[in-house]
Amino acid sequence: MPVLLQIPENPNCDAMDAQVFQCRSAARVVTHILCERPGGMEWCPVTGIGEGGGPCPASACLVEDSGDGACYLVVGGEWGLRLQPPGPIGAWDLTDRAQWGVPYLLLAGDAATLRFV
């Protein structure tokens, strides 16, 4: 099933022109992403950000990748994804400089960098 992904200009992350991905699996809710941080790789909480800035589930599905065969596409809401530093999950806040937003992520197809619900 094809997925059209487009992120408008917003306070969470950079805008992204429309891209189409071919899903090879059903989407599953994601709670954490393994991120490179100062000092090494760490599990960071992730959520989607909907239009208006509220949190919504982040999800991932396997997609076709010309280089690797398959990878996970991680998407959020209309305003992309938001990540927090490792530790207890705090409030999702677009003004918190410790948090950061991205339009989407493409991660390895072995799911070693994702935690699902």
pTM score above 0.85: yes
Going residue by residue through the chain (117 aa), what tens digit of pLDDT does each one get?
888 999 999 999 999 999 999 999 999 999 999 999 988 999 999 999 999 999 999 999 999 877 668 999 999 999 999 999 998 999 999 999 999 999 999 999 999 999 999
What local confidence, expressed as pLDDT, does residue 68 receive?
A: 65
Domain ranges of the chain: 2-116
What local confidence, expressed as pLDDT, does residue 4 receive?
A: 93
What local confidence, expressed as pLDDT, does residue 78 receive?
A: 97
Query: What's the token pair of residue 75?
Result: 């998407």
What local confidence, expressed as pLDDT, does residue 17 receive?
A: 97
What would the DSSP string read from start to end of 41-64? EEEEEEEEE-TTS-EE-EEEEEEE
* CA pair distance 88, 101, nearest whole angstrom: 18
- Could you tell me where the beta strands, DSSP code E, fall in the chain? 2-7, 16-22, 28-37, 40-49, 55-56, 58-65, 69-75, 81-83, 100-102, 105-108, 114-116
Assess contact for 47 and 90: CB atoms under 8 A: no
